[in-house]
Structure formats: C-alpha cells, structure tokens
Amino acid sequence: MGGSHAPPLREVPTQTSTPKEPKVNKEPTTGKTTHEINAVEADTPDTFGTEIPTEGLSDNPNVFTQRTDPFNPHHIQALIETVTIGPDLSPEQRKEVEDELKAYADVFALSVGEVVVAEGGIHKLNIPEGTKFSKNPKPRNYSPPQREYLYDKLDEMVAADIIERIPPDKVKCVSPITLAKKAH
C-alpha cells in the first residue's frame, strides 16, 4: 500500500527525524562574556494568566486573514472587538488606540494559526554547564473537559508549527502543564 503514514495524535513516531539546524550567529566574539537579562518593570495586570476570550470570534474565514489580508475590514473589526481597551481612557484616547490597532493590524493575530515566525529571532537560555533537569514530571490529573481542551490546544499548536512532536530519547527537560483558571 502506498502513501505516507502519520502516527495518531499524541503517540510517539516510530522513526526519529533530525531537527532543523537553528540559525545561529557564528560571528567571532570579542572575548567579553555577556549575559542577557529579561526584566519586567510594569505592574502585572489582574488578568495575567487568564484565558483570552474567544467567544466573540466566529469561524468566519473573513476574520482570520492576518497572513493574507491583514487590513481586511472584518479582521480589523474582530481585532478591535477582541482587544480590551481600559475604561480609564477618554473618547479621544480610545479612538487613538483603535486607530493604532487599525494601522498595525498586520502584527496582531486572532488565532494561534496566524502567528508567524519572527525571522532572525533567536531564543537563548544561559544555563550553567552541568545543570540537571527533570525528565519525570509529577503526573497531573485533568478532568475529561480539561484533557479535551488541552489536547485540542496542543493539536492546534502542532498544526500551526509552533510546537512539534519529538521522540522520547530526544527530550532534555519536561515541565508539567498548568491550566490557568478563568477569571469570573
């Protein structure tokens, strides 16, 4: 029988594939050691870690046009309706924020599938040599609705090439997934 065989979802493929070589800046260094630091100085909003509301979005293909037609009026309207603009703004300030959203509609995604790769972006972790990581996380018990939600989100990210499946022997570190509770 011909055709390609893909393993069922959430199962380990029987053949291992070689991951793509990441693009790395291989220019000679000056000998100085630098350490990148990420710092957030802003206050953490009350909504941090809560789920992004999607009930206002529909399956209308005219809305999800960030890659093909980001300035489509349906896309822009859905974007403005999705973004929460603080109530402390004056009507003029609110209009100014909406105008900025309209002007930069091409950089906002309404779904995971619309997220694009940032060319030239390199994520580097400065991990001390010899650091040991857990490969056996404590199992989490998810309710059937939580499990269904989690698997759907994982499948969505795999389909959007945000994450990929790897064989168990390639795993270097694992961490349990925590589902954020909805704010009510």
Question: Contact, 117 vs 160, CB < 8 A?
Answer: no
Dist. CA 173–CA 177, nearest whole Å: 13
Does the pLDDT value for residue 7 go beyond 90? no
* pLDDT tens, position by position, 60-89: 556 666 666 778 888 888 888 888 888 899
Does the pLDDT value for residue 178 go beyond 70? yes
Does the pLDDT value for residue 23 go beyond 80? no
Question: Contact, 98 vs 80, CB < 8 A?
Answer: yes
Residue 70: which residues within 8 A CB-CB, separation 6 or more? 105, 106
Question: Contact, 110 vs 66, CB < 8 A?
Answer: yes
- 41: its two tokens: 């100085």
Question: Contact, 75 vs 105, CB < 8 A?
Answer: yes
SS3 76: helix
Give the pLDDT confidence score for residue 1 in this predicted structure.
44
pTM (two decimals): 0.46
